[in-house]
C-alpha cells in the first residue's frame, strides 16, 4: 500500500483529549489500495481517535465519498454516493493481530495503526449489494440486448409452462405416481 503513509496513525502520540485527522482521498488511493469493487472515487474522511483506557483507543470514522463502480445491468461505470460511519477499537500489545471481538492489537514497540484498508472496508460495506443506474441512465445498446435475451427466455419459459415442448421422459414415472396418489 505504497503512497498511503498519511493514513498511518501513531497511537503513542494521542493525548488524553484525543486527536482528529482529516483525509481527502482520490483515485490514487483506490488504485494504491487495490480496491476490488471500486474503480475510482473521491472520499473525505474524518477520523477521531481518543484514548479510552491505558493502551486502548477508540477510532471513530465518518466518510463521505463518491465512488465509481460497474453497473450490474449495463456494465458501464456509474457513480455511487456513500456516507457512512464506522468504529474501531485498537489496543497496544505484543504484536499486530485482530481478535474475535474485532479489537485491533498494534505492536507496542511500533504503536502505528494503518487505517487505509479500514477506510476502504467501511466504504465497501456501505455500498448496496446491487449496483444499477437510475431508470433511463443505463447504456441503451446493452439494455436493448438484455431485453432481447430476456424476451427469448420468457418465450421459452411460457412454452414450457403451456406444455408445448415435450416433457422430459425421466419425469413421466413421477407423473404416473402423482396420478395414482390422487386416486
Query: What burial class does residue 113 get, using C-beta atoms within 10 Å of its C-beta: 0-12 exposed, 13-18 middle, 19+ buried?
Result: buried
Quick count: other Cβ atoms within 10 Å of Cβ 32?
15
Q: pLDDT band for 95, please (50, 70, 90 cuts).
A: confident
| Of 58, 8, 33, 23, residue with least CA distance to 124 | 33
Query: What burial class does residue 25 get, using C-beta atoms within 10 Å of its C-beta: 0-12 exposed, 13-18 middle, 19+ buried?
Result: buried
163-176: average pLDDT:
66
Answer whether residue 2 shows pLDDT above 50. no
| Of 46, 44, 59, 75, residue with least CA distance to 14 | 59
At residue 39, the pLDDT reads 77
Residue 33, Ramachandran bin (φ over 0: left; ψ between -120 and 50: alpha; else beta): alpha
pLDDT 10s digits, 102-156: 788 888 888 899 999 999 999 999 999 998 888 888 888 888 888 887 765 555 5
Distance of alpha carbon 93 from alpha carbon 166, whole angstroms: 69
pLDDT 10s digits, 151-166: 655 555 555 555 555 5
Amino acid at each position: 500500500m505504497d503512497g498511503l503513509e498519511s493514513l498511518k496513525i501513531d497511537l503513542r502520540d494521542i493525548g488524553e483529549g484525543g486527536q482528529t485527522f482529516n483525509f481527502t482521498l482520490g483515485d490514487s488511493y483506490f488504485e494504491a489500495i487495490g480496491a476490488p469493487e471500486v474503480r475510482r472515487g473521491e472520499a473525505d474522511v474524518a477520523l477521531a481517535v481518543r484514548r479510552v483506557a491505558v493502551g486502548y483507543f477508540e477510532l471513530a470514522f465518518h466518510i463521505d465519498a463518491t465512488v465509481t463502480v460497474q453497473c450490474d445491468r449495463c456494465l458501464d461505470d456509474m457513480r455511487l454516493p456513500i456516507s457512512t460511519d464506522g468504529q474501531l477499537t485498537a489496543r497496544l500489545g505484543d504484536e499486530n493481530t485482530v481478535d474475535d471481538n474485532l479489537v485491533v492489537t498494534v505492536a507496542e514497540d511500533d504503536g502505528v495503526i494503518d487505517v487505509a484498508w479500514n477506510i476502504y472496508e467501511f466504504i465497501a460495506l456501505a455500498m448496496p449489494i446491487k449496483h444499477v443506474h437510475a431508470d433511463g441512465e443505463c447504456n441503451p445498446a446493452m439494455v436493448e440486448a438484455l431485453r432481447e435475451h430476456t424476451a427469448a427466455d420468457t418465450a421459452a419459459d411460457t412454452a414450457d409452462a403451456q406444455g408445448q415442448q415435450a416433457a422430459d421422459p425421466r419425469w413421466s414415472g413421477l407423473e404416473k405416481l402423482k396420478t395414482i396418489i390422487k386416486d
